[in-house]
Amino acid sequence: MEKRVAIIGAGVSGLLACKYTLERGFQPVVFEAEGRIGGVWAQTIESTKLQNTKDYYEFSDFRWPASVEELYPVNTKVREYIESYAQHFGLLPYVKFNSKVVGINYDGESETEMKSWEQWGGTGTPFGSRGKWHIAVQDTEKLSTEV
């Protein structure tokens, strides 16, 4: 059985989710509505800086480069750091750019059946084997939608 995972957004959290799902043998697809990674950092004005020192805004497995000396790096330095993280761990091939998730539906067990389960369906898995997720994604450049 293919173990695919959909991740919405290629910001810090989405990239971390991608990295850790890969490490556990899943096949992630990161849907990113914009044409680049970075989440909110891809959309902030250039004068925006970290609110915390960079030591508190650091990936545990990827240090800030020595060239970033300021305690509160500006937007461009933060974006470069996030981009270098994604490149270092080979995450970019899993990102589907210009792909905005506009709907998610689950087809599978009935709601009545799911409500009868105590926890995780009693099988150790969150959903039964018959179900399937359908994700509607809009191409933000062509404005077309696919499921």
Mean pLDDT in residue range 103-114: 79
| Contact by Cβ (8 Å): 120, 126 | yes
Distance (Å, whole) CA 119 – CA 56? 36
Instruction: Quote the pLDDT of residue 108.
Output: 76
Residue 124 scores a pLDDT above 70: no
- Given pLDDT bands bounded at 50, 70 and 90, which one contains residue 114? low
Beta strand residue intervals within the chain, DSSP E: 4-8, 27-31, 95-96, 99-107, 132-139, 144-146
- pLDDT score, position 129: 60
Mean pLDDT of 88-116: 87
pTM (2 decimals)? 0.83
Mean pLDDT for the chain overall: 87
Least confident segment among 10-19, 34-43, 52-61, 126-135: 126-135
